[in-house]
Chains A and B, each alone.
Chain A
Amino acid sequence: MSMNRRTFIREFTFTIGSATMCFWLESESAWGQGGPECTLPAARATTWVPSEPKVLKRFSTTEMDQPAHAAALAKYREAICKIRALPANDVIGWDKQIAQHCLSCAPSKPDNIHFSQYFLPWHRAFLYSLERILRKLSGDDDLRLMYWNWETDRTVPAIYTKANQCLFYQNRGFQGLSPADVNVQPLLTTATWAQFGGGGSGQTGAAFGGPHANVHDAFNGDMSDLQFSPRDPIFYAHHGNIDRLWSSWVKAGHANPDFGQAKVYFYDEDRKFRSLLLNELRDERKLGYEYSSLMSPRFRIPVRNFALALNHALVQPDPETHRKIVTEAAETRTLVVHNIKGLEKFPTSNTFAIFGDKDPKVGTTAEDDPEFLGMVATVKAGGKVLGGPLTAALDLTPKLAHVLSKDKKSFRLSIAPIDRQTGKTTAPAIPLEAEKVALVE
Chain B
Amino acid sequence: MHPWLRCAVVCGLLMCNSATKNNELRFHLSIPKAIAAQEERRLAGDAAAPAPVLILHGLEFGANEGFKIELLGEAKPGGSPVSLAVTGVVGHPQRTPQLPLRKIDLPVPLNDAAAQLLANHTEVTIIVHFDHVDPDRPPVKIDSIYFSTPAKE
Contact = CB atoms under 8 A, between A and B. Distances in A.
Contacts of A204: 104-107
A214 to B, nearest CB: 5
B86 A226 contact: no
A39 interface: no
A217 B68 contact: yes
A195 B148 contact: yes
Interface stretch (A175-183, A311-319, A404-412): A175-183
B139 to A, nearest CB: 19
Q: How large is the interface on A (under 10, 10 to 19, 20 to 34, 35 or more residues)?
A: 35 or more
Contact of A209 (B45, B50, B88, B112): B88
Interface stretch (B73-81, B90-98, B118-126): B90-98
A190 B108 CA distance: 9
B63 A107 contact: yes
Interface in A184-228: 185-187, 189-192, 194-196, 199, 202-206, 208-210, 212-214, 216-217, 224-227
Contact of A301 (B4, B45, B49, B51): B45
Q: Is the interface of A mostly helix, strand, loop or mixed?
A: loop
A178 B90 contact: no
Most buried by A among B87, B112, B150: B87
A199 B49 CA distance: 23
B45 A190 contact: no
Given A186-B110, A224-B66, A227-B64, A202 B86 contact: no
A115 B104 contact: yes
Nearest to B89: A213
Contacts of A202: 103-105
A300 B105 contact: no
B115 to A, nearest CB: 9
A189 B85 CA distance: 14
Contacts of A18: none
A115 B100 contact: no
B114 to A, nearest CB: 8
A383 interface: no
B21 to A, nearest CB: 20
B83 interface: yes
A433 B151 CA distance: 50
A217 B107 contact: no
A114 B65 CA distance: 13
Given A107-B63, A216-B90, A186 B85 contact: yes
Interface string A85-99: 000000000000000
Interface of B: 2, 4-5, 42, 44-47, 49-51, 53, 63-64, 66-70, 83, 85-92, 98, 100, 102-112, 132, 148, 150
